Amino acid sequence: MANKPHVTMEIGNDGVAVISMSNPPVNALAIPIISGLREKFDEATRREDVQAIVLTGKHGRFCGGFDISVMQKVHQTGDASILPDVSVDLVVNLIEDCKKPIVAAVEGLALGGGLELAMGCHARVVAQKTQLGLPELSLGIIPGFGGTQRLPRLIGLPKAIEMMLSSKPITAEEGKKLGLVDVIVPSQELLKVARQWALEIKERRKPWMRSLHRTDKLGSLSEAREILKVARQQAKKTAPNLPQHQACLDVIEEGVVHGGYNGVLKEAKVFKELVVSDTAKGLIHVFFAQRATSKVPNVTDVGLKPRQIKKVAVIGGGLMGSGIATALLVSNIYVVLKEINPDYLQKGIKIIEGNLRGLVTRRKLTQDKADKALSMLKGVLDYSDFKDVDMVIEAVIESVPLKQKIFSEIEEVCSSHCILATNTSTIDLNLVGEKTSAQDRIIGAHFFSPAHVMPLLEIVRTQKTSAQAILDLMTVGKSIKKVPVVVGNCTGFAVNRTFFPYAQGAHLLANLGVDVFRIDRVVCNFGLPLGPLQLQDLAGYGVAVAVGKEFATAFGDRTFQSPLVDLLIKSGRNGKNNGKGYYIYEKGSKPKPDHSVLPIIEASQRLTNIMPNGKPISVTDQEILEMIFFPIVNEACRVLEEQVVVRASDLDIASVLGMSFPSYRGGIVFWADTVGPKHIYTSLKKWSRLYGNFYKPSRFLEERALKGIPLSAPVSSSPGSRSRM
């Protein structure tokens, strides 16, 4: 019973029944909790020895919201009838319309359905430092237990809309100012004050507040409609592909115009419709995909304990090295930053100082914490401080001889348990560690730029990397607030390997005569923050050339080699670095298409000479999208077949966090399954006949398309499968 979700009720001598939810760690509203609440409220209402009721949660938390795995089950089974009707029968009828006063005693967090339960009560007594919020829209749904109706009535329309549309929680202190919280108390006094409050409502010494009946904070109908109109326009701009934002505003308006009870009925209906939408399926898949990355067979399931990493050496103070150092410092890990001369070292330290200043400016860090972080940094020019470090992360340029030299040197000076990591983005780890004997400690820590901001950490293992080294790096990754994804060792690893056709597909289309600015526009409309050509501008053309060579060597049978980047460099362009690329970059204004780039593109088209009959091809926006993304899916299929990732959902979360693939589309493999492997296969086959091997379908895609098997279905580890793990 102790670990199973359950609800208890204790009746004190004062006649107050304390109903407690228990479903660690956050008391999520699983089906047994919801039915337990119905049962206990029903009993407390009927019993004559109960004068008033307090609702609370065990384990220092009130309630983290509805159990998301129920919605995942709906997606897997297609059966929406398993969703409980909570808003009307439990929150309205049993709680809000109860003839006995009910007070919520809230501690730790009240999120989603948890806050909605609390708002259905007649008062809210809240412990200090509690978080209150309705984050449902971040999962593609809307609040479904009355939140769209009660929050505006308790705190006013503008703030309620902002809280729901942003999914961001507020503190108890802010809740008190807004009128969501009746009183804030120290957590040790929470139950005592809540019981007292409930009895005082009973004795009419405190107001008996049914929030659904309130209208005093809604303003006039015309004011409310104007606020909703502005919010709709704003949401169209900021969330153009997210239907839940407009749906939420529609439901709020229903309640404002036709009363709270009608609003609750519409909310329940729209909630159920949204649960089965593609957006909710994608976002809920990503939610679980992120959690699944913590489970790595033969690493996290063999009883190993992570070792403490207190001090890390970072070699190289360029943009990547200083970004990695920043991420470690803000998480209280001592950093030794090594450079080859005083000038480079000073430069690296200056970048770290700038990163910390930026975090303070954006309110991600207090000034005190930034000062403390800087005090944990030591700059050095030799290896004498490496003796007692727990891990080294090498972040120098992509040169095999240089990396090999560094690894031979650090193996000599570091302790025998020190983890030796490289931040390479493409180079084979076996090459990096070729000249060392400590191959069980060699591991890839591939951060994405800027390293102190981007949330993904690819942990690359070779066949010799020890489980302990992997577990330790996963633990460090989590402590510096990254999502660690363990991948196998191959050129480009999981993310860069999967997405190498991204820029190449855009170049192929450009050489076929498709307008480059249209290509970027189509990709941005699909949901990526930047199109492939603007991304190339941002990264700099040197990166494009270096990475292009790596992939041409590794995957020459399917790369499209375009002369366009070389022509851009020859014409004196280097993207954002010198303000001239496909776009014009001027300080203080948004990038604008640079039409003077068109003659260079035409020169590239003459050199490649792939336009049918020398004329630009005619394509729809949908075809552009598919010609860019289907080759990426094709490469993802090879990554899955070679078992470079543990599971398909790891590639989904890596594509979302590493390449900003839209999370509401569920990640690259999930999206491909919704499009249909058969359609992807037949399209690629057609284009490969027209435009060559770049589009040739992989064996894995062909097999699954013809057999009707989803791409995300597990790969069988047959003796013939070429596992890289």
Classify residue 503 by burial, with Cβ atoms within 10 Å: 0-12, 13-18, 19+: buried
Beta-carbon contacts of 483 under 8 Å, excluding residues fewer than 6 positions away, are 290, 293, 455, 456, 457, 477, 653, 657
Do residues 567 and 604 lie in contact, with contact meaning Cβ atoms separated by under 8 Å? yes
For residue range 38-66, list pLDDT tens digits in order. Answer: 999 999 999 999 999 999 999 999 999 99
Band of pLDDT at residue 543, cut at 50, 70 and 90? confident
Give the model's pLDDT for residue 78.
Answer: 87
Give the model's pLDDT for residue 542.
Answer: 86
Mean pLDDT of 330-356: 97
Give the model's pLDDT for residue 89.
Answer: 84
> Is the pLDDT confidence value at 375 over 80?
yes
Element spanning 565, H or E: helix 564-570
For residue range 221-241, list pLDDT tens digits in order. Answer: 999 999 999 999 999 999 999
For residue range 73-85, list pLDDT tens digits in order. Answer: 999 998 888 898 8
C-alpha span between 666 and 282 (Å, rounded): 4
> Is the pLDDT confidence value at 722 over 60?
no
C-alpha span between 101 and 196 (Å, rounded): 11
Mean pLDDT of 388-406: 92
Token couple for 192: 């005592």
Mean pLDDT of 530-545: 92
- Cross-strand pairs, 111: 133
> Is the pLDDT confidence value at 721 over 70?
no
Give the model's pLDDT for residue 550.
Answer: 85
Band of pLDDT at residue 449, cut at 50, 70 and 90? confident
Residues marked as catalytic? 116, 136
Helix (H, G, I), strand (E, B) or coil at 8: strand
Do residues 412 and 389 lie in contact, with contact meaning Cβ atoms separated by under 8 Å? no
Give the model's pLDDT for residue 519.
Answer: 98
> Is the pLDDT confidence value at 344 over 70?
yes
Helix (H, G, I), strand (E, B) or coil at 277: coil
- Closest listed residue to residue 156, CA positions, set 225, 113, 235, 215: 215
> Is the pLDDT confidence value at 536 over 90?
yes
Q: What is the 3-state secondary structure (H, E, C) of 199-211?
A: HHHHCCCCCCCCH
Mean pLDDT of 151-162: 98
For residue range 602-645, list pLDDT tens digits in order. Answer: 999 999 999 999 999 999 999 999 999 999 999 999 999 999 99
Do residues 274 and 142 lie in contact, with contact meaning Cβ atoms separated by under 8 Å? yes
Band of pLDDT at residue 717, cut at 50, 70 and 90? low
For residue range 467-490, list pLDDT tens digits in order. Answer: 999 999 999 999 999 999 999 999
724 versus 90: the higher-pLDDT residue is: 90
- Closest listed residue to residue 543, CA positions, set 313, 318, 316: 318
Average pLDDT, the chain: 95
Give the model's pLDDT for residue 45.
Answer: 96
CA 614 to chain centre: 44
Sign of the torsion angle spanned by Cα atoms 331, 334, 339, 345: positive
Band of pLDDT at residue 720, cut at 50, 70 and 90? very low
Band of pLDDT at residue 719, cut at 50, 70 and 90? very low
Q: How far apart are the first and last CA of the chain?
A: 40
**Angle, nearest 10°, between helix axes 598-608 and 500-511?**
90
- Closest listed residue to residue 646, CA positions, set 418, 450, 494: 494
> Is the pLDDT confidence value at 723 over 50?
no
Q: What is the 3-state secondary structure (H, E, C) of 426-464?
A: CCCHHHHCCCCCCHHHEEEEEECCCCCCCCEEEEEECCC
Do residues 55 and 19 lie in contact, with contact meaning Cβ atoms separated by under 8 Å? yes
Token couple for 488: 């196998």
Token couple for 217: 């904070």
For residue range 164-209, list pLDDT tens digits in order. Answer: 999 999 999 999 999 999 999 999 999 999 999 999 999 999 999 9
- Closest listed residue to residue 424, CA positions, set 321, 336, 542, 574: 321
- Cross-strand pairs, 391: 312, 419
For residue range 652-700, list pLDDT tens digits in order. Answer: 999 999 999 999 999 999 999 999 999 999 999 999 999 999 999 999 9
Give the model's pLDDT for residue 2.
Answer: 57
pTM reported for the whole predicted model: 0.94
Mean pLDDT of 552-574: 95
